[in-house]
Chains A and B, each alone.
Chain A
Amino acid sequence: MTLNFPGGVKAYAKSACADKEILNISDCRAVCLELERTDDLRLLIPAGAKTARGTPLGISGGTPVYSPIAGEFKGILELDGREHLVVTSDGGDESVRVFEPERRRIEEMSYSDVLNAAKALAVIETRRGIALWKLMEKVKDNCRRVIVDCTETDPSGSAALRICLESPRAVVGGAKILMRALAAPKAVFAAESGKREVFELLSSQVGDGFPATFARIAEKYPCGDRALMQAIFIRDLKKGASAEDDGCLIVSAETSAALYECMAEGMPMLDKTVCVCGEVKDPSVLKVPLGTTVRDLIAFCGGMAETAVTVSNSLLNGKIINGSVNGTVSAVIAVTPQKKPRRGCVRCGKCAGVCPAGLLPYLVNERNNAELKEYCTRCGCCEYICPSGIPLAGMINAGREAET
């Protein structure tokens, strides 16, 4: 049975690299690591020091930051108005192990073992860019479900699909580790209903005696935490609340696989799987060091159309990305922005039909539209679907910004 959630738009693009294997790319010229916070950053090595793959550069927000490539640490540089740790490559491939490879069975691991490993190995929850150990701490006492999100951020992307197809053991293994650590009674693997191969592969890895279910989610976008909760549990998240507050730890398939692989190898999470697609010459799914620049990614894929811009994660609510790939970027999509001539509202009501928050975006011009500003999730569905080309999302955001 396909589980539906309110709002969202049906797949508006096709994936061009669903059949392509993940390519490991390590020969980037430099990496620029964007930090979650820079105010409490404590550098562990000076600028100019040599680094290997896995060398600790500093600690930020209680989580270590490692060098994803071997080369020279250049220090903190400001790029696009944000501070980054920059490491230039020397072409070498030497690496240092920061953690003893885990040899114990999953059943023998405790909560603190997994928490410490996730912390030391700097495993990031890639959907939100938050350190996994912080999310684990939020649900440690009341975890009802571990939900592994195998959906894509955009229909043109296929990073999650390729991870599930190529590393099903790691995806399931990561979920098992989290379940064991958090004493969660059940795991849920959620993916778009069309990904039959993913469900078959994951269920073959799950094995008997492991309490897991598979949620076939409607192929609609964007599909975030709230959509998953609505589809799986038919329950709504209160405003400002997260899935963790409701006892559910939602992690991406990549996070789950990374936790398993990092613990098995004793190496921190240094790479990111990114689907580079859209108007590029050779759309591909690339596994690149964290902090790889978008320019390098596009170059690996043979360049892009002159009129195109690079967008992170989703064509509906993504942002233009010109800097580097951080932990949350699963897709870099080259697209020539489309425009529709603006006309008056025809009151077709389509914007209300696709709003995942149950709002009436066509009321944006009316005085009594406080709900719009308060509950809009900035998904961009209303503006996408509007036949009159009204910049609804922009107008709602402008109203919200004017108030603040």
Chain B
Amino acid sequence: MSPAYRAPFVKSYGGVFSHAADLFIALIPALMWSVYIFGARVITICVISVAFTFLLDYPVRRWIVRAPRADLIDPFNAVYGILSAFMLPVSVPLWAPAVSALLTVFAKNLAYPGGRRIFNPYIFPAAVMNIVFGEMMSTFTRPLAYFNPFSFVLDEKLVAAYRVISPLQQSADGSVYENGVVPRFIGYASGHIGEVAVAATLLGAVWLFVRKRGDIKATFAFLAVIFALAYLFPSDDAETSYYAFSLLFTGAIALIAVFALNDGYSLPLTGTGRLICAIVCGVCVFLGRKFGGDTEWGYYAVLAVNALSPVLEKITRPRPFGSSGKARKK
């Protein structure tokens, strides 16, 4: 009969591990599809990325961040590792996922007091690597061209033999991707490892929304904004709906919509704030792709809304029930 006990005397079942497990499960369809499209090298890249994320994160959390003991091993590292690997092409040397993991660990531990992160931990490395290793990150090979999973650096001639231009690069050049939008939706296209698996990513999204791990409104708003803007302002003489769908099914749009825009660490937790982020992100992606030179505007758009999120969370904070308007200003 210890008086130290106090309410609540029961706790809910779901813990941090189950949250991470749900995200991991949501990634499995995309991972499986990527392995089918790009071969076993995808598994090697993902394993290296995940392993390095865990290995580098532990000392940072223990000696630099000085996290509590229970927090030293973060189950989300598995998710971040795979997602950062998803942003790499299959032809990268095997040191690339390790560098990406290093950047992931840097971004995930770069946080405000209270746990809010400044940047998304898997979009940040993708953006940085796109800037620093532009050529390597934009070398895509055709689907079903399988490379040696254990070759540290692939033979340049071999890669060149299978090299193709991704749909996103074609769009950026102003040309039309001839295979249509259905292969892109299914994921039979070239591109970054995980980004091509649009349908599989959306399948994972269903799991997340069923498990209430995401905000379907933000995901839908982001996709709808891009589609609507592309439909209303098509590129030159492109067919409107074709152009709109092309934009939706290329690049990291699906991954951003499902995972990056549901990352509470780096986005506002208020419903309105999240919605504003999704809309701003969608507008930035559209404007970037239409007028910008670089093809990976999705990453920069996410980082931009990440930077805005503390302000958005503050101004969209809901009014407590029973309060007058004045109370909110406190």
State the A residues within 8 Å of B (CB): 6, 9, 12-13, 226, 230, 236-239, 241, 309, 311, 314-320, 322, 333, 335, 337-349, 352, 356-360, 362-363, 365-366, 368, 370-371, 374-375, 380-381, 383-389, 393-394
Contact = CB atoms under 8 A, between A and B. Distances in A.
B318 A316 contact: no
A237 B317 CA distance: 20
Interface residues of B, number: 41
Given A357-B321, A384-B8, A347 B15 contact: no
Interface stretch (B93-101, B111-119, B240-248): B111-119
Given A346-B16, A387-B15, A311 B7 contact: yes
10 contacts: A238-B322, A320-B1, A337-B5, A344-B115, A346-B265, A348-B19, A366-B114, A383-B11, A384-B11, A388-B16
A380 B70 CA distance: 23
A307 B8 CA distance: 16
A347 B318 contact: no
B16 A387 contact: yes
B321 A230 contact: yes
The 4 closest A-B pairs by CB, nearest first: A347-B264, A349-B269, A380-B8, A375-B320
A333 B327 CA distance: 37
A383 B11 CA distance: 8
A316 B18 CA distance: 22
Given A360-B318, A393-B8, A340 B15 contact: yes
A371 B327 contact: yes
A394 B113 CA distance: 19
Nearest to A336: B9
A385 B321 contact: no
Given A335-B9, A371-B330, A6 B321 contact: yes
Contacts of B330: 368, 370-371, 374
B217 interface: no
A103 to B, nearest CB: 44
B7 A385 contact: no
A393 B12 CA distance: 14
Contact of B9 (A337, A344, A375, A386): A337
A347 to B, nearest CB: 4
B323 A344 contact: no
A357 B16 contact: no
A324 B323 CA distance: 37
Most buried by B among A322, A342, A346: A346
Interface in B18-76: 18-19, 67-68, 70-71, 76
A283 B19 CA distance: 35
Given A360-B270, A384-B8, 4 more contacts: A311-B9, A345-B114, A352-B270, A371-B328
Given A343-B70, A358-B319, A363-B114, A348 B264 contact: yes
A371 B330 CA distance: 7
Contacts of A349: 264, 269
A321 B319 CA distance: 35
A375 B322 contact: yes
Interface of B: 1-3, 5-12, 14-16, 18-19, 67-68, 70-71, 76, 113-116, 213, 264-265, 269-270, 317-324, 327-328, 330
Q: A interface, by DSSP: helix, strand, loop or mixed?
A: loop
A360 to B, nearest CB: 6
Contacts of B320: 357-359, 371, 374-375
Contacts of A375: 320-323, 327
Contacts of A342: 68, 70
B5 A309 contact: yes
A319 B322 contact: no
Contacts of B67: 344
Contacts of B11: 338-340, 383-384, 386, 389
Contact of A365 (B16, B114, B318, B324): B114
A192 to B, nearest CB: 19
Given A239-B322, A340-B15, A357-B321, A316 B8 contact: yes
B321 A236 contact: yes
A342 B327 CA distance: 32
Given A349-B269, A387-B15, A343 B5 contact: no
Contacts of A385: 12
A236 B322 CA distance: 6
B14 A387 contact: yes
Most buried by A among B15, B68, B328: B15
A318 B6 CA distance: 8
Contacts of A315: 7-10
B114 A346 contact: no
Contacts of A343: 16, 68, 70-71
A339 to B, nearest CB: 7
B13 to A, nearest CB: 9
B5 A387 contact: no
B48 to A, nearest CB: 25
Contacts of A339: 11
Contacts of A318: 7, 9
Contacts of A341: 70
Contacts of B9: 309, 311, 315-316, 318, 333, 335, 337-338
A346 B319 CA distance: 23
A132 to B, nearest CB: 25
A386 B12 CA distance: 7
A340 B11 CA distance: 7
B317 A226 contact: no
Contact of B322 (A226, A366, A381, A387): A226
A367 to B, nearest CB: 9
A9 B12 contact: yes
A322 B330 CA distance: 40
A385 B212 CA distance: 13
A358 B318 contact: yes
Most buried by A among B6, B8, B319: B8
A228 to B, nearest CB: 13
Given A358-B321, A362-B269, A12 B10 contact: yes
Nearest to A320: B5
A341 B321 CA distance: 31
